[in-house]
Amino acid sequence: MSIEPTNDLRITAVKVLDIRFPTSDELDGSDAVHVDPDYSSAYVILETDGAHQGHGLTFTIGRGTEIVCAACRSLSQGLVGRSMSDIVTNFLEFHRSLTNDSQARWIGPEKGVIHLATAAIVNAVWDLWGKIENKPVWQLVCELEPRQILELTELRYVSDVLSHDRALNILEQQAPHREKRIAELRRDGYPAYTTSAGWLGYSDEKIRELCLQGIEEGWNHFKIKVGQDIEDDRRRCRIVRETIGPDRHLMTDANQRWEVGEAIEWMKQLVEFKPLWIEEPTSPDDILGHKAVADALRPLGIGVATGEMCQNRIIFKQLMAADAMDFCQYDSCRLASVNEILAVMLMAAELNVRCCPHAGGVGLCQYVNHLVMIDYVCIAGTHEGRVAEYVSHLHEHFADPWRQKAGAYLLPEASGYGITMKPDSLHRYAHPHGSVWVERAAK
Ligand SMILES: [Mg+2]
């Protein structure tokens, strides 16, 4: 059994762009650790000898983008001349040619800058494949046979927790229900929550206003940033809880601010506001630390959420198998695209962890809009207790922006992976020569 693209295109050039938005001006995206983020993307365009281009990006927050762009250029050297049929029919081989590039893997493997760059490139391949088939990427995956999905899934180094047979079993169990679930998603969408209200730099009035606006729009989950000052956090949590009422959900996010013991003590002082979870309480690499926080806070009704800086599926395996996370917030650009994310979703299904993917930034909502649909239709089979992040910033730059209603992502209809930015945005926000940055430098 093999997967052939219906129209075989050859990659003729790879363009890498450094796109940055001056979001630090308004403190959009500010948290306890990232105090002046300029939301950015290392943006990859695969040019072809046919009618389509593949667009992919990875999200960063400022000057670091130049390093990721350099890694994208280095890693993509072997792509020109390759055909999509060659790539897609041996997708895992292609994937490993990037993650195991013998002269690049020393600065990984499968972590940090080199993995972010891999994600940008592989995301562009998925986008191109979707465009060739004239299907959104979620649909492309949901129409594959269970065995074909597994052919695309990177299970290397996690097979001790999830064997090939067990993964196949999960996919086969869900397969008969796919059509019904797609119809449900088409009608109701997939549950989402908003982080737009709770950036650390916002005033009390702005938080209250944004919560009220969120309720009006139909949101049921609200997340705020915590971790700089306990009295400030108590005041802000109280504002949110009073504004959203007792039945809607409040989540908290510390962005790795604390030591392990500090995380536990800090959150005990926020228990009265009934947070559903504490997100990134400490270093994203600290599996034992997350386990200690989870053990201490679970009896108080607070779960542990983490994953936006979890560097690969192998770390996720440990967090899940150690019972150190309740909510898995995989990131669509930190993991090396759909191939690795499928493995994480399958492990989560096997180990009863709920996937609530990280989004926001630049383009992450675009990707998540596809990924949650794949999870619901093909893997988890439920969205109960699950909710995908959503942030309203910057979507105006995309050619086919996410569609959302009353606290839910709607099914994407446009072909590809939804990440293609408008040419005008690519032009104006390119760093340092786009007009936005030239004008700022002249001030
Ligand atoms: Mg977060």
CATH entry 3.30.390.10 includes domain 11-136+425-442: yes
What is the predicted pLDDT for the residue at 129?
Answer: 98
SS3 content of the chain, % helix, strand, coil (to 5): 45, 15, 35
pLDDT, average across residues 185-205 = 85
Ligand 1 centroid to Cα of residue 100, in Å, is 29
Residue 86 has pLDDT above 70, yes or no: yes
What pLDDT does 3 receive? 83
What pLDDT shows up at residue 27?
66
Question: Residue 31: what pLDDT?
Answer: 65
Distance (angstroms) between ligand 1 centre and the Cα of 341 equals: 18
CB 301 within 8 A of CB 309: no
Mean pLDDT computed over every residue of the chain: 94
What distance in angstroms lies between residue 106's CA and the mean position of ligand 1's atoms?
28
Instruction: For residue 366, report the distance from its CA to the centre of ligand 1, in Å.
Output: 17
Output the pLDDT for position 178: 98
| pLDDT (average), residues 191-202 | 78
Query: What is the CA(252)–ligand 1 centre distance, in A?
Result: 9
Residue 288 CB burial class (10 angstroms; 0-12, 13-18, ≥19): exposed
Residue with more model confidence, 6 or 201: 6
Question: How confident is residue 236, by pLDDT bands cut at 50, 70 and 90?
Answer: very high
Element containing residue 367 per DSSP (H, E): helix 364-374
Token digits of residue 15:
């363009």
Least confident of 123-127, 372-376, 439-443: 439-443
Reference 180, options 377, 369, 345; nearest CA is 377
Q: How far is the CA of 145 from the centre of ligand 1 (A)?
A: 34
Three-class DSSP labels, 98-140: HHCCCCCHHHCCCCHHHHHHHHHHHHHHHHHHHHHHCCEHHHH
Please state whether the predicted TM-score (pTM) of the whole model is above 0.85.
yes
pLDDT of residue 78: 92
Residues 42 and 334 sit within 8 Å (Cβ to Cβ)? no
Average pLDDT (153-161) is 98
Beta pairing partners, 242: none
CATH 3.20.20.120: which residues of the chain?
Answer: 171-419
Across 161-184, average pLDDT: 98
Least confident of 6-20, 137-151, 215-229, 411-425: 215-229
**Percentage above 70 pLDDT, the chain:** 97
Residue 428 pLDDT > 80: yes
Q: How far is the CA of 311 from the centre of ligand 1 (A)?
A: 14
Per-residue confidence (pLDDT) for residue 38, from 0 to 100? 92
Report, as an integer, the average pLDDT of 352-358.
Answer: 97
Q: How far is the CA of 307 from the centre of ligand 1 (A)?
A: 8
Superfamily holding 171-419: Enolase-like C-terminal domain (3.20.20.120)
pLDDT at position 127, please?
A: 98
Of residues 191 and 4, more confidently modeled: 191
Annotated catalytic residue within 135, 223, 291, 358 = 358
- pLDDT (average), residues 110-125: 98
Least confident of 95-99, 171-175, 404-408: 404-408
Q: Tell how far the Cα of 358 is from the centroid of ligand 1, in angstroms.
A: 7
Share of the chain above pLDDT 90, in %: 88
Catalytic residue chosen out of the listed positions 95, 135, 221, 225: 225
Give the model's pLDDT for residue 45.
98
CA 31 to ligand 1 center in whole angstroms: 9
Give start and end residues of each alpha helix (H) in 52-203: 65-75, 84-89, 91-99, 112-133, 137-142, 146-151, 164-174, 178-188
Q: What is the pLDDT of residue 200?
A: 72
Q: So what's the pLDDT on residue 393?
A: 81
Whether 405 is a known active-site residue: answer no
- C-alpha of 389 from chain center: 9
- 225 Cα to the center of ligand 1, angstroms: 8
Encode pLDDT of 357-384 as tens digits.
999 999 999 999 999 999 999 999 999 9
34 in active site: no
For the chain, how far is it from start to end, CA to CA, in angstroms? 60
The whole-number pLDDT of residue 29 equals 63
Mean pLDDT of 52-58: 98
Q: How far apart are CA 141 and CA 148, in angstroms?
A: 9
DSSP string, 225-253: E--S-HHHHHHHHHHHHHHHTTTSEEEEE
Q: Compute the average pLDDT of residues 67-86.
A: 97
pLDDT tens, 138-155? Answer: 999 999 999 999 999 999
Task: Give the Cα-Cα-Cα angle 187, 189, 192 (nearest 5 degrees).
Answer: 155
Element (H, E) at 372: helix 364-374
Please check the confidence at residue 84 and state whether its pLDDT lies above 70. yes
Please check the confidence at residue 32 and state whether its pLDDT lies above 70: no
